[in-house]
Amino acid sequence: MLVLPGVLPKTFDRKFHMYGPVGGHGGFLLRSGKKGYHEGTHLSYVPVVDILFRDVLVVAINDWYYPLVVDYGTSEELEALRSLLRFDSSLGERKLYALRGSSSVGYLIAGSVSWIDDPDGSTSEPSVLLGGLDRTSGIEVHFA
């Protein structure tokens, strides 16, 4: 597996679903499979794409996004989220990440985000980003 720097904002022209909390270190996973359905249209993609947030402190997202732009949130968005959630803890090294879709916006406060295009992957098996799979040769992981 090759780890490369990732640049935000990152746009994905595909449908992602919330997979949920994973791992033992506050991970949160979004997945986009090889097939999907959106507003009467069948979707077909070549690789599975997984997005993993680590060291997650806050999750305020929708269950799906299409398309999806992952970006850093603004200071105004952070203050609005803090006010809404009555959250006044220190972020430490964490950052606010914004998930922007065509009809919704969501937020995660997390330590990092990484994503992977996995041409041999399947949403019926664990993500390569979670480790434990032998199928990592030649796969690029982008880390921001």
pLDDT tens digit sequence for 49-103: 999 999 999 999 999 999 999 999 999 999 999 999 888 778 889 999 999 999 9
Backbone angles phi and psi of 131, in degrees to 5: 80, 175
Bridge partners (DSSP) of residue 30 are: 18, 51
pLDDT at residue number 46: 67
Q: CB of 102 within 8 A of CB of 71?
A: no
Distance CA 107, CA 79 (A): 12
Taking Cα atoms as reference points, which of 70, 71, 68, 53 lies closest to residue 130? 53
At 37, the pLDDT band (50, 70, 90 cuts) reads low
Q: Where are the domains of the chain?
A: 2-143
pLDDT at residue number 25: 67
* 64, two tokens: 């799906």
pLDDT at residue number 106: 97
Distance CA 40, CA 27 (A): 32
pLDDT at residue number 38: 64
Residue 115 clears pLDDT 90, i.e. is over it? yes
What is the reported pTM?
0.89
pLDDT at residue number 113: 97
